[in-house]
Amino acid sequence: MIHDFKFDIDPGKPVGIKETMGSASDVADAIELCFPLQADDAELIWGTERVPINYKYDVSVIYEDIVELLQECMKNKRVEVYFGSNTFSGSLSVTPFDDEFELEGRWDSVSGNKEKQLNQISVLKTKKSRFLRSWSGILENVLEAVGNSNLSFSLATELDELRLLLEKSRTSEKGDGGI
């Protein structure tokens, strides 16, 4: 059953650790190094439930899934991703319809043990622009923190690809017609 409950993501305002030293093998590794455990979490709003998404231990694990999700959604394709973090785990299927996405979630493990409540609202609809903006907010925070860190890593190409993805997302958001 499709619900007209709310879907959103509050990306929070996490502050990365600028004094981070060392090296990172990829952006996911850099995320874990750049964000302190106590950083402001992002928050998934699924229906009436709010679920924290920790930057250090959730976003670092699901980063590639978020990138894939946005890339496919901007092509207006159906996509299914599996988030495999210990405290943010489950599958999300996204199907495009006109100017909306239908979201079907199956939640296995989330902070606060809210899986049962989340799974009672398995399907939601949301505007494409809201969906893209929601996930892009997390990636904007990642780009800022990793870009401002003192980490030495050879990920210039990966960060450039992230910047390009975010720019395409902003372009797509402006009228829903771009996707």
The tens digit of pLDDT for each residue in 30-68 reads 899 889 888 899 999 999 999 999 999 999 999 999 999
Q: What is the rounded distance in angstroms from the CA atom of residue 170 to the CA atom of residue 13?
A: 19
Residue 176 pLDDT > 60: no
- Extract long-range pairs of 139-144: CB within 8 Å, 24+ residues apart: 139/66, 139/67, 139/70, 139/165, 139/166, 140/11, 140/166, 141/11, 141/12, 141/13, 141/14, 141/42, 141/55, 142/27, 142/31, 142/55, 142/59, 142/63, 144/16
State the pLDDT at residue 73.
94
Residue 19 pLDDT > 70: no
Which domains, ranges and CATH numbers included, belong to the chain? 2-10+20-173 (3.30.2450)
Average pLDDT over residues 88-109: 95
Q: Across the chain, what does the average pLDDT equal?
A: 87
pTM recorded for the entire structure: 0.88
Q: What is the rounded distance in angstroms from the CA atom of residue 34 to the CA atom of residue 148?
A: 9
Banded model confidence at residue 177, pLDDT cuts 50, 70, 90: very low
Residue 94 pLDDT > 90: yes
